[in-house]
Structure 1
């Protein structure tokens, strides 16, 4: 028998039902991605971080902040702001989740770096490299949630856009047809390679000079550390959905995703968690320090040990840990913020990363809006102190970051959230792809190494674009 819960929420009856036979969410998404505003948060690297994948379907409320313009379902709002409305909506639509699943009701979307820069009141003299809204949150009636560890799929319908019973039945029928191969998805495998043209917004020597200027600011005492980014514009004929599937296969990640907003698509394979909160328990997991994977087991081990023992990378990560602790202490209970991991090496398909883990407990009366206001954008991709680092970033970089180094994820009506740091991510718009690559700069940074590190970080995405 399939497990099933039903819950009365106001005038709606939610149904949460386990699919009788397991199908991976990635296979189901091949079909559901055709629906308007259907999105996928993808844990293709199944580990202690990447346990759940989530598909959002049947949107009923879409919030867009685009410059000074705030719309709800396309209707401009004059009497309230994006932030005011979101806080009010979350406070007035609290919906308990007693299923054990990460989300049964809530929104999926993103906040761009420039949204955070504006909220931090850091002005910018730079131009957009690609223009998309600063923030989008879409509330969904229906979710498909995959427990990637247990190999289980749960279907969720809240009865907002149509009867929950009808929606669950329809979804089950589609899943059964997919299983029986009566619905064709994208065929896997593209042996032929696409030609791509890459246009960086820095020449190599320009980038190295910008890093040198950033080091000078550090020596002068303006900052301790900052993140320096170059952005690439890529011409490729490859469809964004094909890029996503090839990327998740070649470079699995715990915090990836595919979000199609019609005029633009987002392809993400991020390894970094920004914020997770459940039952007021908060977790952030900054990355600082990267080495490429070796060509042989011996070289691989050498690169791992080099990163593990790097004083420069440990110093860099420690400064970000201090910044994140300070940010969390602004909204967490006194004494609750603790570093639970300090220098852990995580391995991915093309790189090793040095990471830390910080936990805290949110103060009573605070919610996800307060948490984001205190911490966004993430310190690992700004620097310390945050405000001055962001000013210097805007001075030395050659364009607005937009989505890059922002956050993609979900927030729920029971007060939980899980957001990544937007790295290893491409935005597709008007036939071109846009991606950023950067790294933390300290007084000990080597100019050549920092430039090469950006290329290493872009490697998996560039390969997927071919």
Structure 2
């Protein structure tokens, strides 16, 4: 509070109706100290607030992306449970930079050093009292499952078929983000002003940079204030699309039996094979997302438009997040369907908690998560914050735990990501050997599925040059669809242990695919009904015009006869 009283904190920008924070005088005072430190800031955050009464996350995304010169964009939302929503939703469009890796898209290398090097170029000035949301800029995208071959070279296998043909990783770097705060019902536009060491020396340099940043705030605010919401153009819907599995029931059950043989001889304790299904659809990818967020509200809801393909997801599971040096991961293992009544729902939850198989599998994955966290954290700080809590989602119930720890000196969020990726819930235990066997059985690259989707924010420095690592929040790409060239790809797997039944495990994958299957089917039905209603209205309009023409002709004939 003392600091705020020393400076003019806000500024009403010239020729606009936006109120930008912090003010030019505040920035000048902060930079005077920062630019003389050994580690000066080169980014200054500016923000403005827009009335949120008539805005929703989807309307914000549609408005922002429709006015963008690029299709590259994202929308992140969160429903903490089926009854509650997360505090923030985030939208970004037209990134200043795109980083891709993988054959045909970029270098075939570990993507994390590239990402870390790029983000290290940007140091955000810490502005006391600004109270920004957790994501205001940085890298947003995904690390595909197949990147594990760079983290654990033993898992690499030659000749893996690349059916999807997407980058192994893709990150978009944004300097402007729109954040909706559902708690306070406000929308904040945040952008960054780039500064150099000599910006305070040249006359008018700081003012010009400030005006450019305010111009970006003003541009986005004006787009958000527009009344019209540009709904995606939906092509005609055709019924009858069939799901085709890459291996089918026989293939999946065969994977289960072979993995059980490895378990019997002590080669592994658990492994998580998967199957992928593909289905043609003419649905606009964002219309799939609009329906998914309704039928399957989840802690991680995301739509990422990568231009050539789109990622549509409703993941229940945090992979790893890092806040102020604390690393958190959420192992999920043990699944049962939702009941049709409250009583049946509770009975199924008790059945899940009492299942010896599910409890054993879950405890094993919690131990694996503790080991992964311990690799980069102080072992004395590692703890299990929650153990085997039943969490309810739209179609299934899961056993969920939470493991956390404090990063050791010299370790970063990228080290934590590398240590935990991929989650044991999509690979197995021991993790490396399980992944080797999965690669040998599946013989196809998984792509985005079982990888991670999320963000790595910019790091910050205070006025004295003290650094603070940026936030990281990533989920496992589960309940996730990849839409490319008019085809939706869905994938799901399950944990195989010594007493797994092949058929039951196959059915579990179908249950996990259920929400996304229903999402596509119901979205198509909805738009098909709208399409038929429009066609009916058009036919009625034509018939009405024809009747009007006949009436006019008859009236003309009567007039002519009367005149004769």
Would the TM-score normalized by the shorter structure come out above 0.5? yes
CA distance in 2, matches of 1:94, 1:359: 27
Q: Name 2:228's counterpart in structure 1.
A: 182
Instruction: Say whether residues 1:16 and 2:51 are aligned partners.
Output: no
Partner residue of 2:217 out of 158, 161, 168: 168
Q: Name 1:382's counterpart in structure 2.
A: 427
The 1:82–1:302 alpha-carbon spacing in structure 2 relative to 1, beyond 3 Å, is: closer
| Consecutive unaligned residues in structure 1, runs of 5 or more | 72-76
Whether contact under 8 Å (1:24, 1:153) holds in the other structure is no
Partner residue of 1:365 out of 410, 413, 433: 410
- Normalization by structure 1: what TM-score? 0.91
Instruction: Say whether residues 1:94 and 2:123 are aligned partners.
Output: yes
The 1:301–1:81 alpha-carbon spacing in structure 2 relative to 1, beyond 3 Å, is: closer
Q: Name 2:95's counterpart in structure 1.
A: 59
List aligned pairs for 1:421-460, cutoff 5 A: 421-460=476-515
What's the secondary structure of 1:441's corresponding residue? coil
Higher Rg: 2
Cα shift at 1:315: 0.9
The 1:206–1:338 alpha-carbon spacing in structure 2 relative to 1, beyond 3 Å, is: same
CA distance in 1, matches of 2:274, 2:481: 14
The 1:300–1:334 alpha-carbon spacing in structure 2 relative to 1, beyond 3 Å, is: closer
CA distance in 1, matches of 2:238, 2:181: 33
Cα shift at 1:183: 3.7
Whether contact under 8 Å (1:404, 1:436) holds in the other structure is yes
**Normalized per residue, which structure has more strand?**
1
CA distance in 1, matches of 2:285, 2:474: 22
CA distance in 2, matches of 1:48, 1:237: 32
CA distance in 2, matches of 1:228, 1:221: 18
Whether contact under 8 Å (1:13, 1:164) holds in the other structure is no
Partner residue of 1:335 out of 380, 398, 412: 380
| Consecutive unaligned residues in structure 2, runs of 5 or more | 1-9, 11-17, 32-39, 195-208, 460-469, 522-564
CA distance in 1, matches of 2:448, 2:62: 24
Cα shift at 1:68: 8.0
CA distance in 1, matches of 2:114, 2:378: 26
Q: Which has the higher contact order (CA 8 A, sep 6+)?
A: 1
Whether contact under 8 Å (1:4, 1:17) holds in the other structure is yes
Instruction: Say whether residues 1:30 and 2:62 are aligned partners.
Output: yes
Q: Name 1:307's counterpart in structure 2.
A: 352
Alignment: residue pair count: 455
List aligned pairs for 1:46-125, cutoff 5 A: 50-67=86-103, 70=106, 82-95=111-124, 99-121=131-153, 122-124=155-157, 125=159
Cα shift at 1:81: 7.1
CA distance in 1, matches of 2:413, 2:301: 21
**Normalized per residue, which structure has more helix?**
2
